Amino acid sequence: MSYVSQLRTCRAAADLVLILVAGAALAGCAGSGAGLDAAGRPVAPGSGNGPLTADFASIQAHVFTPICTVCHAGAGAPQGLRLDAANSYALLVGVPSNEVPSLLRVKPGDPDNSYVVQKLEGHAAVGARMPFGGPYLDDATIAVIRQWITDGAARPAAADAPAPFAVAAVVPAPGDVVAEAPRQLVIEFTAALDQTRVDAGSLRLERLDASGAPAGVVPIRLATTTADARTLLAVPHEPLGAGRYRLVANGAPQTGLASLASERLGAGAELVISTFVVGELP
């Protein structure tokens, strides 16, 4: 399927989702009380329970999952932006936009300069308003997203539960075949990184030959964000060409990645974080 055909399919699916949601909301307002919150107000569009509130879990349940993931999911997500629950926070908060790298997708405390808000409101410098082709989010829903960003764009409370230090998510994910070369690889961890241990040798991006053996190392720049201490960006110095790639974490005791609690990633051994393919292989 061509890229244009994919976009048309996404638009049609998004329209269908919102039509179904609107129908459910109207049915709820017909007198049964279903579809209303405790104050008698309609709940926001989406499948989340209860009214939309200015916290990430609610926004994920009401907006990102039911509406945005019609297109923004899997290896074919536009601009590599996956908005499913497993990946959305790490790919949004503190991460530069692909289209306008000078802007963060979500800049905590500053909704006006958060690229996701500009895209939802339709005044971004590049590209179309989102959701692509409409229907667009209403002002009240966008206002809730703005409020979450104004309040600091905090993670959902459940993400603060203690967990062993490990990779929580990575994009491109293991096994992905992506049509467009990623401008940045995003790695999310289960706990805050010790940023003093992040250096040029912390991660290695290898190009693989047809047999899967290393055929060279791709220079990358590693970047942490002040917005989210659990996220690490690996930015290739040059666009990745078509081929197979493997992202590997250094396991050396003194230089490997570790959490603020001094838990080492991979227990002292090299760890393959992701193996993925860019473009079509011969």
Residue 258 in contact with residue 165, Cβ under 8 Å? Answer: yes
Which residues of the chain, if any, have pLDDT below 70? 1-49, 159-160, 268, 281-282
Q: Are 28 and 167 found together in one domain?
A: no
> CB neighbours (10 Å) of residue 65?
19
Cα(269)–Cα(17) distance, integer angstroms: 46
Q: Are 8 and 140 found together in one domain?
A: yes
Q: Are 129 and 209 found together in one domain?
A: no
Q: Are 62 and 177 found together in one domain?
A: no
Q: Are 96 and 184 found together in one domain?
A: no
Q: Is the peptide bond before 172 cis (omega within 30 degrees of 0)?
A: yes
> CB neighbours (10 Å) of residue 108?
20
Q: Are 175 and 268 found together in one domain?
A: yes
Which of 100, 126, 157 represents a domain boundary (last residue)? 157
Which of 93, 126, 157 represents a domain boundary (last residue)? 157
Cα(263)–Cα(226) distance, integer angstroms: 21
Q: Are 234 and 131 found together in one domain?
A: no
Its pTM stands at 0.79
User: How many domains is the chain partitioned into structurally?
Assistant: 2
For residue 6, give every residue at least 6 positions away whose Cβ sits within 8 Å of its Cβ, in sequence order, or none: 76
pLDDT of residue 160: 67
Six token digits for residue 230:
């659990």
CATH number, position 226: 2.60.40.1220
Q: Are 80 and 53 found together in one domain?
A: yes
167-171 β-sheet, strand order: 167-171, 185-189, 231-236, 220-224
Q: Are 197 and 150 found together in one domain?
A: no
Q: Which of 151, 275, 145, 123 is nearest to 213 (CA)?
A: 275
Domain assignment of residue 26, given as a range: 3-157
Which of 138, 157, 176 represents a domain boundary (last residue)? 157
Find how far residue 190's CA is from the centre of its chain: 15
pLDDT of residue 46: 54
Tokens 């060279």 appear where? Answer: 216
Q: Are 170 and 273 found together in one domain?
A: yes
At residue 223, what is the residue type? A
Residue 220 in contact with residue 213, Cβ under 8 Å? Answer: no
pLDDT of residue 266: 81
Q: Are 24 and 126 found together in one domain?
A: yes
Q: Are 117 and 219 found together in one domain?
A: no
pLDDT of residue 25: 33
